[in-house]
Chain A
Amino acid sequence: MDPMTFSIIRHRLFRIVDEAVITLKHVSGSAITNEGHDLMVSLYRADGTLLMGGVGFLHHLTSAAEACKSIIRRFEGDIHEGDIFLLNDPYTAALHTSDIYLVSPIHHEGRLVAWSACFVHVYDIGAVNPGGFAPQAPDIYTEGFSSPGIRLVAGGEMRQDVLDTILNMVRSPEMVTLDLRSMIACNNVARDRMQSLMTKYGAKEVDGACAELVNQSEDLFRARLRELPDGQWQSRQYLDVNGETARVNLTMTKKDDRLIFDFSGSDPQSPYSINCTKWASLGGLFAPLFPLLCYDITWNEGVLRPVEMIAPEGSIVNCTRPAPVSVATVGAIQSVNNAACSTIGKMLGASEKYRNQSTAVWHANHFAIFKFGRNQKGGDSIGILTETFAGAGGARSFADGVEIGGEIPNPISRMANVETVEAAFPVRYLFRRRAPDSGGPGEYRGGTGGELALVPHKAPDGGINYVISGKGSRHPMSEGLAGGYPGAPNSYVWVKAPEDGANTPVTAAGGLDAISGTQERVSWGVYPLMGRDALYVRWNGGGGHGDPIVRDPEAVRSDVAAGLVTLQSAGDIYGVALRDGAVDETETMAKRKSIRSARLQQEASE
């Protein structure tokens, strides 16, 4: 194929995905989609293999491929132009029930030529807890409506009986309708644009370009792998949930042009809904792989070919039915993301050519907190605290991580404006800001996470309730690199107002400790936010890079001045002495020398 046509078709495919994402956002009315960008759109070839991965949560790219393949198997001989299929069963392909896939066959001149697929986290899925994340679910049966594949649209016509059945099982059916319609619109746009591309260039020509694109990605990725050193890198994630701790162990081996992710030794599946299925784990490891190793390579089936995954059956990363999985995306899947990010970061750091691409783990710990209840307008609201998508950048080998800088598995994640949340829920923010000492210390510091506090405001029922799937308040999860510390763990605190009626001060100064009342840690289940009580949340920072005691003392001074690092940490961890807001060089040198000699006074390791 001539390179000009190939290039034009490749770029058209990018633009088709972009336009479909815009459509999804225009039609959707939900904060998690529009503000948090908890979405994904991608194109697939006629056999369901990944053709063009789009932006959004990248752990969906391979799972949606499996969704397409699964629909092809289930509906063989009965797939028609204008059909749209729904699939959300985690044991078939989905990540959890509330991330619904709508997959749409694309026909040209009567022949099936491609697929488009997208997902959003729907407003509700009818699980035991509102919002889809179900910390109280003991099994998949209590995690809401779940389909291994059903035709929602037949030949361009909505199957009203199917839609009504789904809507009959969820809270806020009007919002779920909008979610589904946004995905239908998205798939319609992708299909129309693909059809016009084929009409213009010919179906055979376009398919030829697609095949070439997949081979190109494979060739480029294998070439990159050959440039990287052969070796073996390990990482480990601790997932603490409701008093228990589960491990995700990863050994990544790179040999020549192949990459093996081996999760052997990971803990058995949990009684809690943090588990994930094997398709979810596969998606989980590709989420950091695409942006870190293939930032200049088209994300498609070609990138999958050199990669192998080993995930023991019955483990937390390959659970068996009916284990609950509704918290998977912020549970085991995210730990797989983090573990892969860590080993890939180490491998890049070992390479002469790619060491500046190396990064410590970014925002490793989502917190799923869904507020629900009657709002100030008398209606019902359900919605996630989108600050979970705000993230924190991991430190690089040459620079600090970006403060509240997003996350690796979703290049477009972000949080909602405070005003958006206050308009939809009967709450008010006391503060929302960067959290001091949350970024992992290092020569280059991990980006800070944030902290926020909420109180009820003009709530007809005196407040609201929230579902919290808040793991990661014991163990740091954003690992550092080359001596950098991990980002600080999350913190979830229920501040109970004093009985004497003292008012909660509405001020950002002082943070958690300035809110009057008694503090109780919460992490898992359903809790009230009523009366004059407050909910405080701190989310993790990114991992640091390098030894903190070689950090430029001026950078530490500037961090302290900006409130990103406390005076105590400046002294204890960085060995920097500050006097009247300036670095005391003599004392800093003495402090650092004393830290060094204290280190060497320890017993040698066995």
Chain B
Amino acid sequence: MSGQDRISASVAVKEGQAVCAACGHDLGPATKPWKDHAQRREIPLAQAGGQAYDTGHEGVLLRHFYCPGCAALLDTETAMAGDPALDDILAERG
């Protein structure tokens, strides 16, 4: 990876480590899934807020991944229980 890359607007990369873009909290190597180092919460979609998400169906989840340092919401995923997290990683520059 080049020095200028980042994982996303919310997860920066510093010296090869994924870090929270807001507070710099370490989220592990950028070449590994950073979500393993985030705080994860699963909310039934119907309770995610607002009537529009309340579809009347159970089993649909909205996953939140928070920075353990500053509680910034780093990423969300629509999911069903038990489905793996979506992993976004940068490769080592060969």
List residues of A whose CB falls within 8 A of some B CB. 229-236, 238, 240, 245, 247, 255, 346, 349-353, 355, 358, 397, 435-438, 441, 473-477, 479-486, 488-489, 491, 521, 538, 545-550, 565-566, 568-569, 572-573, 596-597, 599-600, 602-605
Q: Cβ of B5 and Cβ of A351 under 8 Å apart? A: yes
A597 touches B4 (CB 8 A): no
If A349-B8, A484-B76, A486-B78 touch, whether A229 touches B1 (CB-CB below 8 Å) is: yes
With A233-B88, A488-B52, A605-B36 known as contacts, the answer to whether A238 contacts B80 (CB < 8 A) is yes
How far does the Cβ of B15 sit from chain A's closest Cβ, in whole Å? 16
What CA separation (Å) do A603 and B57 show in the bound complex? 26
Q: Are B78 and A234 in contact (CB under 8 A)?
A: no
* Sample of 11 further A-B pairs with CB below 8 A, known A352-B6, A482-B10, A573-B50: A230-B1, A231-B88, A240-B57, A352-B4, A476-B60, A482-B75, A568-B50, A597-B71, A600-B39, A600-B66, A602-B40
Verify A476–B8 contact, CB threshold 8 A: no
B64 located at the interface, meaning its Cβ lies under 8 Å from any Cβ of chain A in the complex:
yes
CB of A568 within 8 A of CB of B49, answer yes
Q: What is the total number of residues of chain B having a CB less than 8 Å from a CB of chain A?
A: 51
- A482-B8 CB under 8 A given contacts A232-B91, A236-B83: yes
| Residues of chain B lying within 8 A (CB to CB) of residue A435 | 52
In the docked arrangement, what's the CA distance between A491 and B51, Å? 11
Q: How far is the CA of A191 from the CA of B48 in the complex (A)?
A: 55
Kindly state the separation between the CA atoms of A548 and B40 in the bound complex, as whole angstroms.
Answer: 17
The 6 closest A-B pairs by CB, nearest first: A352-B4, A488-B52, A605-B40, A569-B50, A230-B91, A437-B52
* A545–B60 touching, CB < 8 Å: no
Chain B nearest Cβ from A133, distance in angstroms:
22
Query: Which chain A positions have C-beta within 8 A of B48?
Result: 485, 573
Do residues B52 and A545 form an inter-chain contact, with CB atoms below 8 A?
no
- Chain A residues with CB under 8 A of B83: 236, 247
Contact with A along B42-83 (1 / 0, CB 8 A): 000100111111011100101011101011111111111001
A93 to B30, CA, bound (A): 40
CB distance from A556 to the nearest CB of B (A): 13
Contact A476 B89 (CB under 8 A): no
Q: Which residues of B contact A (CB under 8 A)?
A: 1-2, 4-11, 35-36, 38-41, 45, 48-53, 55-57, 60, 62, 64-66, 68, 70-80, 83, 86-91, 93
Task: For the complex, give the distance between the alpha carbons of A482 and B68 in Å.
Answer: 16
Per a CB cutoff under 8 Å, which of A479, A488, A600 touches B53? Answer: A488
- Say whether A604 contacts B76, CB under 8 Å: no
A437 vs B6: C-alpha distance in the bound complex, in angstroms? 30
Q: Which residues of A contact B35 (CB under 8 A)?
A: 605
Cβ contact within 8 Å between A474 and B10: no
Determine if A346 and B49 form an interchain contact, defined as CB atoms under 8 angstroms apart.
Answer: no
Min C-beta distance of A125 to chain B, whole Å: 32
How long is the Cα–Cα vector from A150 to B16 in the complex, in angstroms? Answer: 58
Question: Which residues of chain B are near A474, meaning CB under 8 Å?
Answer: 55, 57, 60
Asked if B49 and A572 sit within 8 Å, CB to CB, the answer is yes
User: B71–A600 contact, CB under 8 A?
Assistant: yes
Query: In the bound complex, do residue B41 and residue A602 qualify as a contact, i.e. CB atoms below 8 Å apart?
Result: yes
CB of B36, distance to nearest CB on chain A (Å): 7
Which residues of the other chain, A, contact B39 by a CB distance below 8 angstroms?
Answer: 599-600, 602-605
- Do A599 and B86 have beta carbons less than 8 Å apart? no
User: Which chain A positions have C-beta within 8 A of B41?
Assistant: 599, 602
Question: Do A231 and B89 contact each other (CB < 8 Å), given the known contacts A484-B76, A485-B62?
Answer: yes
With known contacts A238-B80, A476-B78, A597-B71, A231–B91 Cβ distance under 8 A: yes
Please measure, in the bound complex, the distance between the C-alpha atom of A230 and the C-alpha atom of B92, giving whole angstroms: 8
Cβ-defined contact, A231 with B10, below 8 A? no
Q: A230-B91, A350-B6, A473-B55 are in contact. Are A483 and B1 (CB under 8 A)?
A: no
Question: Given A229-B90, A236-B86, A489-B55, is A596 in contact with B71 using a C-beta cutoff of 8 Å?
Answer: yes
List, in ascending order, chain B residues with CB within 8 A of A566's CB. 50-51
- Of A438, A480, A549, the contact of B52 (CB 8 Å cutoff): A438
Q: Which residue of A lies closest to B90 (CB)?
A: A231
Closest to B2 in A: A229
Which residues of A sit under 8 angstroms from B64, Cβ to Cβ? 599
- Name the CB-closest residue of B to A255: B91
- A432 to B66: give the CA distance in the assembly, Å: 37
Q: CA A599 – CA B76 in complex, angstroms?
A: 13
